[in-house]
Amino acid sequence: MGIGLNFKRIKMKLKLLMILFLTALMAFGSSHVNAQSTLAVGVLVVDDIDDSDPDLLPQSAVVSDDVYYDGKILIAAGTPVIMDIQYQHRRGLGVPASVTARPVSTTDIYGQLWPLSADSRTATGKNRRGAAIGCGVFFGIVACPVGLLFLCIKGGNAEIEEGTQMVATINVQKIK
């Protein structure tokens, strides 16, 4: 009994030591990063982004607010933002469509291109998989050839609505 408890204590101490070591590593390892080296850029989606016609891409996003650096405007509000938009079309068996949009870059007031770091925004349509498979199997058994057409039911359309806000960052170290 006594030996088993010692192994449990040793395991507990090793876990605690590992947690303390990792915490110290994260605290001291990231201390050299300059927090002032990035600026937040608000991105506003001005047109609906949907999966209906991916070939026709209007101007879909702009910078929502002025971005200041050292008290001067670096990027003006209303500046177009280049977006990376990826589509997955809706398919049979009730599989829905999805649209993913990510801000890629914008330009400053001097015409210089600035890459943006941002998470992507994803919209997914209504999933109709259960209805398609359920009706397809049920009516496929009851009315054999015609009932299988229910397997062709497609999922819903996906849309990122107008007015959606995103936050991106730019690295301003290269200005200095």
pLDDT in tens, 5-20: 677 778 888 888 788 7
Give pLDDT, residue 34: 46
Mean pLDDT highest for which of 25-39, 53-67, 107-121? 107-121
Spatial distance between the Cα atoms of 15 and 13, rounded to a whole number of angstroms? 5
Q: Are residues 51 and 98 in the same domain?
A: yes
Q: Are residues 92 and 11 in the same domain?
A: no
Asked if 167 and 103 touch (Cβ cutoff 8 Å), the reply is no
What pLDDT, in 10s, does the model give residues 127-158? 887 777 788 887 778 877 777 777 778 888 88
- In this prediction the pTM is 0.66
Give pLDDT, residue 63: 93
Which of 98, 90, 112, 101 shows the shortest CA–CA distance to 58?
Answer: 101
Query: What CATH number does residue 50 fall under?
Result: 2.40.128
Question: Which stretch of 13-17, 50-54, 105-109, 111-115 has the lowest confidence by average pLDDT?
Answer: 50-54
Q: Are residues 90 and 141 in the same domain?
A: yes
Q: Are residues 28 and 109 in the same domain?
A: no
Answer with the residue of higher pLDDT: 16 or 43.
Answer: 43
Mean pLDDT in the chain? 80
Angle at Cα 101 formed by Cα 61 and Cα 108, nearest 5°? 40
pLDDT band for position 4 (50/70/90)? low
Q: State percent of the chain over pLDDT 70.
A: 85
Answer with the residue of higher pLDDT: 55 or 163.
Answer: 163
Q: Are residues 65 and 50 in the same domain?
A: yes
Spatial distance between the Cα atoms of 81 and 58, rounded to a whole number of angstroms? 12
The total domain count for the chain is 2
Spatial distance between the Cα atoms of 37 and 1, rounded to a whole number of angstroms? 57
Mean pLDDT highest for which of 56-60, 90-94, 104-108, 169-173? 104-108
Contacts of 139 (CB under 8 A, 6+ apart): 146, 147, 148, 150
Spatial distance between the Cα atoms of 144 and 155, rounded to a whole number of angstroms? 23
Q: Are residues 42 and 12 in the same domain?
A: no
Contacts of 10 (CB under 8 A, 6+ apart): none
Domain hosting 3: range is 1-33
Q: Are residues 47 and 68 in the same domain?
A: yes
Which of 83, 49, 48 shows the shortest CA–CA distance to 63?
Answer: 83
Q: Are residues 152 and 107 in the same domain?
A: yes
